[in-house]
Chains A and B, each alone.
Chain A
Amino acid sequence: MESDLNIKYIAELSRLELSDEQSAKLQQEMERIVGYIDELKELNVDGVEPTAHAAPLSNVWREDEATASYSRQEMLENAPGVINDNLIKLPRVLPQEEA
């Protein structure tokens, strides 16, 4: 399990573009870090409940009431691209149909 760390595959899952040089460096660094965290495997954790969260809270409910939110205009000010002053402009999601 230690040796099959494939940085290019993980970068793909992470949606991170890496240069070949970066990949090589990260591959090396990550192998060392993963080697270090592997020390957890020596510990017997049978029957131990996992901790997801430190606060002793479970479901927190509120009334389902509509309240005013931020204005569309304000939120759009941070968008990289805007259409008609009220929509976020995105790159094409589906491939273009052939004519």
Chain B
Amino acid sequence: MKHRFLFVACLLALLVTVVVPTMAQDDMDVPMGNGELIVIITPSHDNPFFQAEADVAQARAEELGYETLVLVHDDDPNLQDQHFDVAISQGAAAIILDNAGADASIAPIERAKEAGIPTFLIDREINATGIAASQLVSNNYSCAVAGAEYFVGLMGEEGQYVELLGKETDTNAGVRSQGYNDVIGDFPDLELVAVQTANWSQTEAFDVMETILQGNPGIKGVISGNDTMALGAVAALEAAGMNDVFVVGLDGSPDAVASIEQGGMDATVLQPLALFSAMAVDQASVYIQTGELPAEEKQSIDCLLVTPENTMNYSNFVLSE
């Protein structure tokens, strides 16, 4: 009797340790940690995108039995560099990083590597290979293409439009803009009347949009490098009573999806960051326990279009089928 109870208990424990994590992460067999430290470094949590990114990574790491230290670099490469020093001196087992600059992040990642700490990049790439353990990024170019194709359809292939650029020091801003222009450039009746940077910021986008409207009252659409700027543009358009201008963003933040539901924005492109945060932690865990690195360093994940037709399937950066 006693033995049978023990047997069942062991079986249950096995189920919990093996099945639960694998349930969370489909088919991959992820080993559990023993309290090693995983340091998670992201841009400021004032953007819900990065907040969710850090939260998902932290939850996943703790679920697997790791200690976590969540740090924020505020897009300042120097601060990021200091955080790497902290991670190294704390003897971290792995670093999960959404980096502060494609070039400026190479040196600290290399330093961590020399100290035996692998860095798993999420969301943004760096301009070097063979240094990071993996680079899990959504393909910004194809995300932008998906958004632009939907935008062209909304516009009916004609009319004046405005493009809002992200921070020009950020590689993604350029890549996204390239994606937009490659698609829209094929339609000669779509006229780009203004391109302005709003530094990823909602307030700046509001101001820029207000100014642009002064000179271009006849615009029909706005395509924005991210959602926060798109929301700023929507606010400016609504203030000017121009509710029928099409606005398309990128990132798939909860705010943007709420705006789509309320008829403000018209579409956004979701980067499935919940997926890559969790994947990066899983890969880190595999490395820590077995010493195996992911086969492919660069792993790109496709984006999903969020429109008024599918907003009900969306919840905090996850779009269920």
Mutual binders A and B = no
On B, residues with C-beta under 8 Å from A are none
On A, residues with C-beta under 8 Å from B are none
